Structure 1
Amino acid sequence: MDSIYALMQDPAAWVALATLVVMEVVLGIDNLIFISILTNKLPQGQRERARRIGIGLALVMRLGLLATVAWIVRLTEPVITILGNELSWKDIILILGGLFLVWKATKEIHHHVDPDDHEDIMIGAATATFGGVIAQILVLDLVFSIDSIITAVGMTPHVPIMVVAVVAAVTVMLLAANPLANFIEKNPTIVMLALSFLLLIGTTLIAEGFGVHVPKGYIYAAMAFSALVEGLNMWARNARKASRAQGH
């Protein structure tokens, strides 16, 4: 308790907390986009439940990883060499997660471009579909959680600050999940943009796994610019619809 009280009186700790919360929220956007796209494929009555379960699993996983923070730090030590690249368990997890994300995003893009090709696959029991969605969310939760915790460890040595930041970020994800998913569903072009983001994120994870550091600022600046362009396109489409409606 004394150490927590001392942290509360330390201005540097508050700055670290604010910075870490922002970082965790930004990192959580990737996870939230993936969860939104997956859960929107479920029947309407199951979507919100799946989102809550997916985000709840992310919170449990991150808090569990924080409890073993010493083990997490050791994940950055090399365990294997491939083509001259020394890879740690963190690198291997990032590469596998990136490959999964690229595969999943490519598959979803193909489905949206040619839905008839997947009509027979999409017919099935709702329970199996629900379980499959949760399983895929769990896989990506693991990848994003490890990346999130290692980022937190690099920014502050204080576990209480990490815990508060993780809980705050996941709370924001929980509040934003339904509005974001509904927005994506009502705007089909946003789905393709979001899937393109996932492709970009997956490629970045693979690159970082092989030791090629890609500044996150570049990634999110590109995503923000693309979102701005799409926002202008949506505004123009709505303006044209309103003009046609007035003309009639």
Structure 2
Amino acid sequence: METLLDLARDPAAWAALATLVAMEIVLGIDNLIFISILTNKLPAETREKARRIGIGLALILRLGLLATIAIIVALTEPVFTILGKGISWRDIILIAGGAFLVWKATREIHQHVVPEPEHDETSTLARAVPSFAAAIGQILILDLVFSIDSIITAVGMTDHVPIMFVAVIAAVTVMLFAATPLANFINANPTIVMLALAFLIMIGMTLIADGLGHHVPKGYIYTAMAFSTAVEALNMVARRRREKARGQTPAH
């Protein structure tokens, strides 16, 4: 208790907490995009439940990993070497998670781009719509990858575990409230789906590169995402204005 009170009176601790919360929220965007796209493929009546369960599991998983932080930090120790490069368990998890993300996003893009035969509508629907359990399982896989990455990043920013706990709880709470509005926005704007899937491929490739020892600064990734989103927002405004103008044009 005395330690917590000392932290509460320390301005540096509050600054570290604010920085860590902001970082956790930014890192959570990747996870949130994946959850939004995946749950939008479920029946409408189960989407909200899947998002809440998925994000709830993310919170439990991250808090559980924080409780074993010594083990998480040890994951950065090399376990074998390939071509002179030490590969740790963290690298393996990042490479596997990145590969899964690239595969999943590419598969989703294929389903959007390549039309399915009309006579195979039933089997197409079965392939396109995952089961509730399958969706939760896929969310949990990516939760694990993003959780390990964010916690190892947090360890590099502060030595105080209570600050990490508060930051994780705050960030996941923001994700919980933002999940449904983001999913509804993506669902209402089909062109955003393709952009979000492209983001997931970029994020997946970044995870693979990081696992192979080629670190890409997160600022570059999120700047590119913000710029692409701004361009698409301008396209959406332009399309709506054109549609409105066509609707107001008097018939001849």
Closer, same or farther in 2 for the Cα pair 1:98/1:127, shift >3 Å? Answer: closer
Decide whether the 8 Å contact of 1:20 with 1:162 is kept in 2. yes
Alignment RMSD (CA, Å): 1.7
Match of 1:150 in 2: 152
Decide whether the 8 Å contact of 2:111 with 2:128 is kept in 1. no
Partner SS, residue 116 of structure 1: coil
CA distance in 1, matches of 2:129, 2:181: 24
CA distance in 1, matches of 2:33, 2:127: 25
Matches within 5 A, 1:15-164: 15-116=15-116, 119-124=121-126, 129-164=131-166
Pick from 202, 205, 230: which aligns with 1:203? 205
Pick from 184, 194, 216: which aligns with 1:214? 216
Decide whether the 8 Å contact of 1:75 with 1:88 is kept in 2. yes
Gaps of 5+ in 1: none
Q: What TM-score results when the alignment is normalised by the length of structure 2?
A: 0.95
Match of 1:14 in 2: 14
Give the deviation of 1:158 after TM superposition: 0.4
Pick from 189, 192, 198: which aligns with 1:190? 192
Closer, same or farther in 2 for the Cα pair 1:149/1:122, shift >3 Å? Answer: farther
Q: What TM-score results when the alignment is normalised by the length of structure 1?
A: 0.96
CA distance in 2, matches of 1:229, 1:24: 25
Gaps of 5+ in 2: none
Closer, same or farther in 2 for the Cα pair 1:243/1:128, shift >3 Å? Answer: closer
Give the deviation of 1:124 after TM superposition: 3.9
Partner SS, residue 22 of structure 1: helix
Partner SS, residue 225 of structure 2: helix
Decide whether the 8 Å contact of 1:43 with 1:126 is kept in 2. no
Partner amino acid, structure 2, of 1:43:
P
Decide whether the 8 Å contact of 2:186 with 2:192 is kept in 1. yes
